[in-house]
Amino acid sequence: MKRITTTRAVLAVVALSALASGPLFAQTTSPDSADPTAKAIEVFHGDAARTGYDPVTITLPLSTVWRVSGVARAADPASMVAEDDTVYYGSGTNLVAVHLTDGQQRWSTALPSDGKILSTPAISGSFLYVGTTTGSFYKISRVDGSIVWTFKAGTGVLSSPVVSQDMVYFGSQDTNCYALNADTGKVVWQFASNAPVNSPPSVGSGLVVFASSDYNLYAFSQATGRQSWSIQLPDDPSIGPPVISGSSVCIGAGQWIYSFTVHGGALRWKTRFDGNLVSSPVVGPNEIFAATDDNKVYGLSDRGQIRWTATVGAPAGSGILLTQNAIIVGTKNGALYAFDSNTGALNWDYAVQPDATVNVTKVKVTGQPIYVNGTLLALTDDGALTAFRHDGSDAAAPRISAQLPKPGDVIKSTGLTFSANVIDDGSGIDPSTVQFLLDGKSLPGAQYDADQNGVVADLKQAKALDLINGTHLIKVSAKDWRGNSLNTSWAVTVDRTLDPKGTEDDSDAGGQDETPATPGAPTPPPTPQPNNAGGGHTPNPPAGTPPPPPVF
């Protein structure tokens, strides 16, 4: 036993245009109309036990109500917390507080250590607790952002803290899990593992449970600081916090979810997936949900049996949100999905576009989305914080850009790409409404993908089209989740009189080249990767070698 120190988740894809910095969308409701059943979100993964479960009902669909810019957050999985009318999160080396209703800044505190905030703050009463990459850990006033005390760990603090019974717990890259007196910042006990502790500790059933990069799961008595048990796993469990639910502790590591007894650490069950877990599971009253790096989202029973599987266009970020009726998944390609928690059916999706102040072509949803007082909040790695509400206004129809073939094109080759970006800023595109027609018939393989900034083209099917000479009509139609409609059409001409056999013509006199440029927004577009997105249930191929586990 180690030393304990004691002093007591195609052809037509929606791309949303970049939004301007600062609050852009007008809020249409007052704080009095907020969901009265919603609770504060005081720690990463929702509560001290890190269940990720918020016992409220989300009314879908949602519309964007505001967005604020921030410092780019590359490889930053931290989330935000919120209470009353204020949201708190890290932005570079600053801790920021903004109003929940409109995104206006209340205060911003530059922490003196010059370390970045790569963990989620914790709220306790009138104070916040947060660590930085330089090892400084702070207690900060929620009123004005002033620093109350500072504790210095040996190296960076990437673990999101939790506060319980006047104690604050967090891990450090110096291999320690710390227990500090929340009032004074003095060490009550600490435990040195054999590797960095970047996973957030969890508190429940009288225990403090945390995972270390030494592949061990540790449990300590909250009252005495004495070790209760430890378990070595075959894979690194540091992808997120252990989840304490009733008499069980649930943890993800590699391709497995494990469930142990909270007292004693005996194995109850384990479930294996095709891909690697990308974040901790979330646990509701009778169900468990998880996401893997092969673009899958799973609903499981409380005994680990898979009930349903849904497919997204990219791996999920570092956390998913569970409510009474939905799970919300943010992906590494900037999409948000809302699935029915009972069936896995897609009920809403939204393509988040890069903030106008940052020169990037695609964003990642980082951290766990949260839902508080009727507002869904999501952070992206361009530094932007975006807010959505069901009662947000969206009267604008979707629009189209980057059509291929272009209106009026003269086509001479057989290697055709039919594609377009369908754009909706407000509520996102309902994928069931997207149609891509050629001469009144659906193009083969056309489908919507919220995870792609550009267009995913099924080139095999597109090249198989043998169009006769003459004029052809292309039509695209779609609706957003509020029912606003897009209907547009354009004509192109096929002329192969100089190429009677239909072989591809390499001349540059009009029409598409053999390998057409892939459109996208913004310019220049990224090269899209084919996948089966849109919340369906078609398996995707494995995602390959997974990235290293995130830190919190």
* Residues near 360 by beta carbon (within 8 Å), at least 6 away in sequence: 72, 354, 382
Sign of CA dihedral 349, 332, 73, 143: positive
Predicted local confidence at residue 421, as pLDDT: 84
**What is the identity of the amino acid at 32?**
D
Nearest residue to 16 via CA among 356, 383, 382: 356
Cβ atoms of residues 142 and 127 within 8 Å = yes
Binning pLDDT at 50, 70 and 90, where does residue 353 land?
Answer: confident
Q: Which two tokens stand for residue 264?
A: 């004693």
* Alpha helical stretches, state H, 246-401: none
Predicted local confidence at residue 356, as pLDDT: 75
Q: Which two tokens stand for residue 498?
A: 């100089």
What is the 3-state composition of the chain as percent helix, strand, coil, each rounded to the nearest 5?
0, 40, 55
Distance CA 434, CA 450 (A): 12
Binning pLDDT at 50, 70 and 90, where does residue 498 land?
Answer: low
| ∠ Cα 296 365 134 (to 5°) | 120
Q: Residue 66's CB: how many other CB atoms inside 10 A? A: 25
Distance CA 200, CA 239 (A): 10
How would you list the strands of the sheet with 81-83, edge to edge? 81-83, 86-91, 94-99, 105-110
Predicted local confidence at residue 552, as pLDDT: 45
Binning pLDDT at 50, 70 and 90, where does residue 448 land?
Answer: confident
> What is the percent of the chain with per-residue pLDDT over 90, rounded to a whole number?
62
The tens digit of pLDDT for each residue in 388-398 reads 999 999 999 99
Long-range pairs, 98-107, Cβ under 8 A, ≥24 = 98/68, 98/385, 100/31, 100/372, 100/373, 100/375, 100/387, 101/27, 101/30, 101/31, 102/23, 102/27, 102/66, 103/22, 103/23, 103/66, 103/67, 103/68, 103/385, 103/387, 104/23, 105/68, 107/144, 107/145
Predicted local confidence at residue 529, as pLDDT: 39
Between 74 and 106, residue with greater pLDDT: 106
Binning pLDDT at 50, 70 and 90, where does residue 465 land?
Answer: low
Q: Which two tokens stand for residue 204?
A: 């429940």
Predicted local confidence at residue 277, as pLDDT: 96
Predicted local confidence at residue 466, as pLDDT: 64
Q: Please report, in angstroms and rounded to a whole number, the separation of the first and last CA atoms in the chain.
A: 26
Binning pLDDT at 50, 70 and 90, where does residue 138 land?
Answer: very high
DSSP string of 436-460, one letter each residue? EEETTEEPTT----TT-SB----HH
DSSP string of 495-510, one letter each residue? --TT-TT-PPP---SS
**What is the identity of the amino acid at 229?**
W
Q: Mean pLDDT lowest for which of 20-34, 65-79, 96-110?
A: 20-34
The tens digit of pLDDT for each residue in 297-345 reads 999 999 999 999 999 989 988 789 999 999 999 999 899 999 999 999 9
Distance CA 419, CA 436 (A): 8
Most confident region among 33-47, 263-277, 497-511 by mean pLDDT: 263-277
Taking residues 376-389, report their average pLDDT: 94
Distance CA 549, CA 428 (A): 30
Does 196 score more than 60 pLDDT? yes
State the residue for tokens 């072509």: 361
Distances (CA, A) of 123 to 46, 102, 152, 380, 493: 11, 21, 20, 22, 63
Predicted local confidence at residue 418, as pLDDT: 80
Distance CA 369, CA 241 (A): 16
**What is the identity of the amino acid at 454?**
G
Mean pLDDT in the chain?
Answer: 82
**What is the identity of the amino acid at 493?**
T
Binning pLDDT at 50, 70 and 90, where does residue 16 land?
Answer: very low
Q: Which two tokens stand for residue 245?
A: 């639910």
Binning pLDDT at 50, 70 and 90, where does residue 414 land?
Answer: low
Q: Which two tokens stand for residue 523?
A: 């310019």
Rg value, the chain, Cα: 25
Does 464 score more than 90 pLDDT? no
The tens digit of pLDDT for each residue in 139-190 reads 999 999 999 999 999 999 999 999 999 999 999 999 999 999 999 999 999 9
Binning pLDDT at 50, 70 and 90, where does residue 539 land?
Answer: very low
Give all strands (DSSP E) within 134-247, no chain letters.
136-141, 147-152, 162-164, 167-171, 176-181, 187-192, 202-204, 207-211, 216-221, 227-232, 243-245
Taking residues 96-117, report their average pLDDT: 94
The tens digit of pLDDT for each residue in 208-261 reads 999 999 999 999 999 899 999 999 999 999 889 999 999 999 999 999 999 999
Between 384 and 415, residue with greater pLDDT: 384
